Amino acid sequence: MKFEEALNEGKVIKITPNLERANSLYKSSTKTLLFAENNSLTSENSGVLLSNYYESLIEFLHSIAYKKGFKILDHMSFTYFIEEILFSKSFSVLFDKYRKIRNGVIYYGKEIDINTTKQAIKDIKEMINFLKKNFK
């Protein structure tokens, strides 16, 4: 279990569930998502918009983690969290894909084509809807 390894390595910390923080992050993620949805996708803002959608997803995941009693300190551990705690292998694979793409944009200045961002938006919205339905 990789999630257990992340716990043992201190990348994930077991905490008392924090519903106040979870609700705050849920609201914040909803605002971030609304902001992203209110911007039209262009070739000029493709990477920025992908990053906004990804940020909304991360905030939703942090919200769920706090509800379940975890503080997750790195994005890679969310891949394990999705697969092993939320029981969605397919979404863990998608999350990891967009984690890597977003890291390329944020840390290496990589350009992202508009079609990649269109697919990312579709997939991230699907993941967020899954999270909203199953973990509210």
Topology given in CATH for the domain delimited by 2-135: Four Helix Bundle (Hemerythrin (Met), subunit A) (1.20.120)
Whether the per-residue pLDDT at 23 is higher than 80: the answer is yes
Residue 115 reports pLDDT greater than 90: yes
Share of the chain above pLDDT 90, in %: 92
Strand ranges inside 53-104, DSSP E = 70-72
Given a cut of 90, whether residue 60 has pLDDT beyond it is yes
CA gap 93, 121 in Å, rounded:
15
How far apart are alpha carbons 106 and 87 in whole angstroms? 28
The predicted pLDDT at position 136 comes to: 65
- Tell me the one-letter amino acid at 127: M
**In this model, does residue 22 exceed pLDDT 80?**
yes
- Sorted by where each begins, the domain ranges of the chain are 2-135
| The pLDDT of residue 135 | 73
Specify the pLDDT at position 133: 83
